[in-house]
Structures are given as structure tokens and as C-alpha cells.
Amino acid sequence: MKIGVAQPHPVKGDIPRNIANHLRLIDLAVSDGADLLIFPELSLTGYEPELADALATTPNDSRFDVFQTQSDAHRITIGVGVPIRSEKGIWISLLIFQPNQPRHLYSKTYLHADEEPFFVSGQSTLRFLGEKANVALAICYELSVPEHSENAFQNGAAVYLASVAKSAPGMEKASKMLSAIAQTYAMTVLVSNCVGPCDNFESAGGSAIWNTKGELIRQLNDVDEGILILDLETGL
């Protein structure tokens, strides 16, 4: 199984332009034979908490049909970041498209204090991905909560895949945590970050992959868009 993370440069609040850019990166992943591709936190809108109420939508938004079409055509699972409106408030979610299956959500449960004025703790309809159902998802601050990665491991995760929106200092701190998670639980760990302006900071890219020893094996830079793909069978 080949899994990957995308590193886009979101356009603030412009869902149509961001969809088009997502499709370009999905095409790259398909050409590399990827079975799974995850995008950063709130990738379709940019990480813009103050715009979340205006931009929040529902999982069945027809604008996202193109992702299901790609998923079905190329047998690839795709996770895109989007604010989802619920009865209780707005969730920070990954909307998951799987080949010939209904859409699912993975929603952020653990919120940073700065997010609480704009978002609420989310509910998910899916916890694990992959042909062996052993790929656990995390959204940004969740990777900083020890219980989150521990619960993923206890429930059989062999891969921990984090979708984030982080500045350079935030990414440096997160990278140390993700390396430690990989080493502690002997899990393969990947992180997807964006580049460019986000909210009141500059997102610093650095999307990366760590092996089960916690060693960094591949990383993108802090300015360019791109993808990283890992073959779980070969480790390459």
C-alpha cells in the first residue's frame, strides 16, 4: 500500500481555486500509484478560523463530487480539510473519499484553546483508513495530546497520519513529537502541512515521514507545494 501527504498553498477562503489545486496534487499522487492521500488541516479554505462560520459546509456539498470521481476512477482514498457545520457548531474535519463508498468524516476532537471561540469538538464516522484499517488520523493539536496517539496504537494502528497547519516554530515542536510517537509505538508517522499565509501566521511546510524507529526519512521544504509518497511494504 502506498500512502501519501500533500503540501498545498491554500488561497484564503477560495474553495473553488483550492479544489482545482487539490486535483492537481491528486493527479501527481495517482501518477505515483498512491492508494491514499491526505491534505493539511482545513486545506480547502485555508486555516482561517475567523472565516470558518462563513465557509462551513456539509459533507454532501456537491462541489466536492470531483473528489469522489477521482477516488472511484483511480482507486485512491482522499482526505481533504474542510470546516463542517453541525447542530452544535463547526467541526474541523477531514472529509474522506473512498472508492465507491459513502463519504466519511474524521473530525478533530481535541481543540487548542485558541480554536474554541470558532469551533467545537467534532464527531467522526470513521477512525482508521487503509486496506488493513490500520492507518490512524490526527488533526494538528491532537498529536500533542498523548492519549490520542496512545489510543490509536492500542486500537491497532501501524501508521499515524497527521493533518496540520503550523508555523515554523510549531512545526519544529510537532516534528519532535511525531518522531517520538513513531519511536514509542513503532508506528510509521506522516505529517501534511501547508505553505503560505494562514490566519495570523505563515505556514511552514515541512511535510514529512518518519520510520518506525523515529528517524526522519523524507521531508518537503518550507516554501514549495508537493507530495510525499511512501510504500509501506518496501519502506521507500
Give the mean pLDDT of 188-199: 96
Task: State how far the Cα of 220 lies from the Cα of 57, in Å rounded to an integer.
Answer: 30
Which pLDDT score, from 0 to 100, does residue 133 have? 82
CATH class of 2-231: alpha beta
Which pLDDT score, from 0 to 100, does residue 74 have? 98
Share of the chain above pLDDT 70, in %: 100
pLDDT at residue 182 is higher than 80: yes
Give the mean pLDDT of 34-41: 98
pLDDT at residue 181 is higher than 90: yes
What are the tens digits of pLDDT across the range 128-150?
A: 998 888 999 999 999 999 999 99
Which pLDDT score, from 0 to 100, does residue 131 have? 80
Q: What angle do CA 37, 97, 143 make, to 5 degrees?
A: 55
Distance from the Cα of residue 57 to its chain's centroid = 18
Instruction: Characterize 172-195 residue by residue with b for buried, 16 or more Cβ atoms within 10 angstroms of its Cβ, and e for exposed.
Output: eebbebbbebbbebebbbbbbbbb
Domain spans of the chain, in order of start: 2-231
Which pLDDT score, from 0 to 100, does residue 132 have? 81
pLDDT at residue 236 is higher than 80: no
Q: How many residues in the chain? A: 236
pLDDT at residue 13 is higher than 80: yes
